[in-house]
Structure formats: C-alpha cells, structure tokens
Amino acid sequence: MAGLITDMKNLGPKTAKMLREVEIVTEDDLRAAGAVEAYHRLKLVFGRRVSVIALYAMEAALRDCHWRAIDGADKQALRAKAGLPPR
C-alpha cells in the first residue's frame, strides 16, 4: 500500500488537502507526477496561495529530506523546470 502524503517529510495536513484536490493522494501519486507537475496543478487551482516553497517541499519530500537541505543549484533547476524566473 502506498504511503500517504502526510507520511512524507515537509508535507502536512494543509498541503495534503490541497494535493488531494489535484488528485495527488499518495506518495506514489506524487512520485508519478513529480514535484514540478504537482506544483503546476496546485498553482492552477490555488493560484497565489501556493508559493515556490511548496515546490521545494514536494521535491524534498521525494528525496526524504528537509526542504532547506536542497542546495541553491537544485532550487534554481527546479525553478527553471517550473518556468519560474531565477532568483
């Protein structure tokens, strides 16, 4: 059985609720979509309520680390894949 989103690091009940609304319920769902696709789905539905930190948090959850452990180069690569301007 696939783990729930709330069992992953960085992803609490609020994020899990939002992800459910875009049909990402389990860890397997997030892995299949990837952090960038999940971020785009969230932005489409929730707009400004979703920050770039959500992108980092989902990627970190997939890596099983805290979102602040993602280095600057990886954050820039994620931003580029998501179509966001560099920081």
**pLDDT tens-digit readout, 8-40:** 999 999 999 999 999 999 999 999 999 999 999
pLDDT tens digits along 59-74:
999 999 999 999 999 9
Q: Please answer whether residues 2 and 28 qualify as being in contact, where contact means their C-beta atoms are separated by less than 8 angstroms.
A: yes
The yes or no reply on domain 5-81 and CATH 1.10.150.20 is yes
- Beta bridge partners, 32, equal none
If you write DSSP's letter for every residue of 15-70 in order, what string do you get?
HHHHHHHTT--BHHHHHHHHHHHHHHHHHHHHGGGS-HHHHHHHHHHHHTS-GGGS
Parse the chain into domains and list their residue ranges.
5-81
Residue 87: band (very low, low, confident or very high) from pLDDT cuts 50, 70, 90? confident
Decide: 42 and 5 in contact? Cβ < 8 Å.
Answer: no
